[in-house]
Amino acid sequence: MPTKTRQTETEQVDESQLTPQQKSAITRRKNKEAAAAAASGAASTDEASATPAAKTTTRKAAAKTTAKAGAADAATKPAAKRGHKAATAEEPAKAATDETPDEVEDHHEDVEPEVLEEADVEDLHDIADDAVADDVETEKKNDEDEESSEAPRSRTEERGGFVISNVDDDAPVAQVTVSGATADPVKDYLKLIGKVALLNAEQEVDLALRIEAGLYAEHKLKELPEDADKRTRWDFEQIIHDGKIAKNHLLEANLRLVVSLAKRYTGRGMLFLDLIQEGNLGLIRAVEKFDYTKGFKFSTYATWWIRQAITRAMADQARTIRIPVHMVEVINKLARVQRQMLQDLGREPTPEELAKELDMTPEKVVEVQKYGREPISLHTPLGEDGDSEFGDLIEDSEAVVPADAVSFTLLQEQLHSVLDTLSEREAGVVAMRFGLTDGQPKTLDEIGKVYGVTRERIRQIESKTMSKLRHPSRSQVLRDYLD
């Protein structure tokens, strides 16, 4: 009991010099001192043999830790903001004070009086101040977290029906790229069709049988009455579906055949991918018409359909000016014969030689060659620098030569000056007779209707006027234009 009395007196002296926050910290320290000492190993059996200095150091560290935890609960804050924080701070305190009152009393009896005497007032002030400072800093950080959580994450607001955002609209949009895709569509297509394995003759026959069964089932399904058995209808639909699967398999396994044939027609006015797509249409037709009973490979049969589809597409789409298909075939035949004769003769064949070889007239050969010419743009650049265009070399037959234009203007002026020496009727008759007014000469009847006289009278006026114009006084100024 003397130990407890001395301990109480020391605490009364110390608490008289402390602030309310510091007093609360000291109270907490008393309640948690035993738990802190036990956690640091002070409650072990070897504690009795430890020196007073070591015990003092251990007790100070435990007291400082306990005081900080207590001061965090005792700081003055609004009740609305400290509700959840006080509950959080009290959880370690409850864990430390779960011991029974008897156990707490035993711990107080184990504490030696010298320990409390050495924990002077200055140390208690420092411990309490540190605890209060830590608590204020923690609350400030929590308040900032609450404010930031209330703000929109995307930093966008809605004001008056408008969305306000700080996002930079001019920032480049990230491009989404598909895994495995490249910038070359031809390469991607070849890589895709290369995944399907080629077929042997037995597999082609098996697929052809399934396709034939599907077509037959589709025909029989159309003939079924409306009240037919559902099971029978379902069986036909399954066979049709299996036939479509077989058709797609046969198509996909021969797409590489189309590519190999399309390569022969590149550089003739159509893109390579367009040639492939047109050839695929011919491949579909070949699958539908393939007769497996003939004993030939499917590729042998499909080649002709693919070539026909590609050549027909080139005839319709490759040229700027469309030429009928039959004429395109004649042009191609003429080009083949011309190349062959060029190799045999060592020179360009004449139209007569080509006509004899093609069994047509020379005039027809020239006409076909003219149809086969490709149009050339007048804006095609010429030379290495490209300073001039092809149109610069074409003569404009309708263009007026500047010298001729000046001469014609002077002639008009001289004619008007000569006609001014005649009477109004004489000048009008000559002007309308030779088209000097509108460029359209008029007949005697038309002029007679204008002046209300007969055509014979107009002829007489014209003859008299021309005699006057032939007089040297009038014709001399016009003789220079006769050359």
Which pLDDT value is given to residue 47?
43
SS3 266: coil
Closest CA to 72 of 8, 12, 131, 26: 131
Of 63-72, 218-227, 276-285, 334-343, the range with the lowest mean pLDDT is 63-72
Q: Is the pLDDT of residue 9 over 60?
A: no
- Tens of pLDDT, residue by residue over 373-421, are 888 888 888 877 878 888 888 888 777 778 878 887 888 888 888 888 8
Domain boundaries, the chain: 2-150, 185-318, 324-374, 406-481
- pTM passes above 0.95: no
- Tens of pLDDT, residue by residue over 128-175, are 455 445 555 655 566 655 555 544 444 444 444 444 444 444 444 444
Overall residue count recorded for the chain in this entry: 483
Query: CATH second-level architecture of 406-481?
Result: Orthogonal Bundle (1.10)
CATH of domain 185-318: 1.20.120.1810
- As a whole number of angstroms, the distance between CA 412 and CA 400 comes to 16
- As a whole number of angstroms, the distance between CA 125 and CA 350 comes to 121
Query: CATH second-level architecture of 324-374?
Result: Orthogonal Bundle (1.10)
Confidence of residue 247 (pLDDT cuts 50, 70, 90): very high
For the chain, percent of residues with pLDDT exceeding 90: 34
The answer to whether the Cα torsion of 401, 402, 403, 406 is positive or negative is: positive
What is the pLDDT of the chain when averaged over all its residues? 74
Q: Do domains 185-318 and 324-374 have the same CATH topology?
A: no
Confidence of residue 479 (pLDDT cuts 50, 70, 90): confident
**Do the Cβ atoms of 155 and 164 come closer than 8 Å?**
no
Of 67-81, 124-138, 313-327, the range with the lowest mean pLDDT is 67-81
